[in-house]
Amino acid sequence: MAALPTVTDVALAAGVSRQTVSNVMNSPGIVRADTRERVEAAIAQLGYRPHASARRLRTRRSSTIGIRLDPMIDGISGSVLDRFLHALTEQADKRGLRVLLFTATSPEDEITQLQRLNDGADVDGFVLTSTFAGDPRTKWLIENGISFVTFGRPWGSNDMDDPQHLWVDVDGWAGLHQATRAAQEAGARRVGYIGWPSPSGTGEDRRRGWRDAMLERGDVSEDDLAALEVVTVDGVAEGTAAMQQLRRTVGILDAVLCASDSLALGAMIANPDRVPVTGYDNTPIAAAIGLSSVDQSVEEVAAGVLDLLTGEFNGRVHGSPESLEPRHRMVKPRLVLREFAAIPMDESA
């Protein structure tokens, strides 16, 4: 196998200098048209590909973004992050970026990994998922001036107006507001909600979407609302228990919304009256079972993340403080309505 051609080989073949070849690839505008064509022909003819590492060494940029592959959680909700990863990889590809994976066992370990990848010039920036209030990772990245964007707003102080970093998030409030509206428009009045305990910013956001839509309607009292809500940690069994509790306290329900598909799946199991149940995340399980769900449109999130990472801010907020460019993007989720075709367990074939 012949050695791979280098810029010098191409330059020789095209009768120009190395730098001109480099210019054709990186700033084609400054090369005269006929020269450019000649060089391009030589590139094609020799099958030349730039050596990525050599380029990185010189330019000090890698065109690669790092993302931590979270440990599998319960596997149902976890698939949202997998879908996001797919979308991110696809979108990154379109922009000539690569995605490098890494794992970590704890936030501290993750910081070590971030440092390793950054210092080794392996990546230009990071995408962080599953951020939480007071996340040590974002703090560290900011302090070290490293580019990054989070999927998830910085829950805490002044998220929106003066963010410490760039972020993209899905408007859970809007998702549940829309889902509640849809249920109401289908005739439901007693719309239950199974959600997560309060320290969760995400959970609180979704819960308020439901509450606000219910209160706007004006046909339920605060007391009714309290009865229509069950708080529980995430999980299928927990969803079943919550549903049973709701049915016990409320009696007849017109619809139930859940903070996740795991809970919704659980709820479906204790649902002999076939009350419409809506989940969150539009996971494969929702599609398989025929469960309405709020879809996070990970494609839009991925696009937003990359826009912020490669855009004017270049993944850093403290750089250009005067800019009017948005420093975050809020993605509207999409409600996917389904008939639960798959559920009739009691009818025989």
Residue closer to DNA by CB (options 48, 84) is: 48
105 binds DNA (CB under 7 A): no
Could you give the CA distance from residue 246 to residue 330 in angstroms, rounded to a whole number?
A: 32
Residue closer to DNA by CB (options 59, 112) is: 59
| Range 38-77, binding DNA (CB under 7 A) | 48-51, 54-55, 57-60
Judged by CB under 8 A, which stretch of 19-27, 149-157, 159-167, 268-276 contacts its own copies? Answer: 268-276
Judged by CB under 7 A, which stretch of 4-12, 141-149, 296-304, 334-342 contacts DNA? Answer: 4-12
19 binds DNA (CB under 7 A): yes
| Residue 161 contacts which entry, DNA, its own copies, none (Cβ below 5-8 A, type-dependent) | none
The pattern of x and - marking residues 139 through 178 that bind DNA according to CB under 7 A reads ----------------------------------------
285 binds its own copies (CB under 8 A): yes
| Residue 6 contacts which entry, DNA, its own copies, none (Cβ below 5-8 A, type-dependent) | DNA
| Residue 148 contacts which entry, DNA, its own copies, none (Cβ below 5-8 A, type-dependent) | none
In angstroms, give the least distance from the CB of 104 to DNA.
23
243 binds its own copies (CB under 8 A): yes
Residue closer to its own copies by CB (options 118, 180) is: 118
Judged by CB under 7 A, which stretch of 28-36, 90-98, 237-245, 304-312 contacts DNA? Answer: 28-36
In angstroms, give the least distance from the CB of 24 to DNA.
9
* Three state DSSP letters for the chain: CCCCCCHHHHHHHHCCCHHHHHHHHHCHHHCCHHHHHHHHHHHHHHCCCCCHHHHHHHHCCCCEEEEECCCCCCCCCHHHHHHHHHHHHHHHHHCCCEEEEECCCCHHHHHHHHHHHHHCCCCCEEEECCCCCCCHHHHHHHHCCCEEEEECCCCCCCCCCCCCCEEEEECHHHHHHHHHHHHHHCCCCCEEEEECCCCCHHHHHHHHHHHHHHHHHCCCCHHHHHHCEEECCCCHHHHHHHHHHHHHHHCCCCEEEECCHHHHHHHHHCCCCCCCEEEECCCHHHHHHCCEEEECCHHHHHHHHHHHHHCCCCCCCCCCCCCCCCCEEEECCEEECCCCCCCCCCCCC
Residue closer to DNA by CB (options 7, 331) is: 7
Please identify which residue in 200, 271, 278, 292 interacts with its own copies, judged by CB under 8 A: 271
Mode of pairing for the β-strands spanning 125-128 and 64-68: parallel
108 binds its own copies (CB under 8 A): no
Residue closer to its own copies by CB (options 168, 289) is: 289
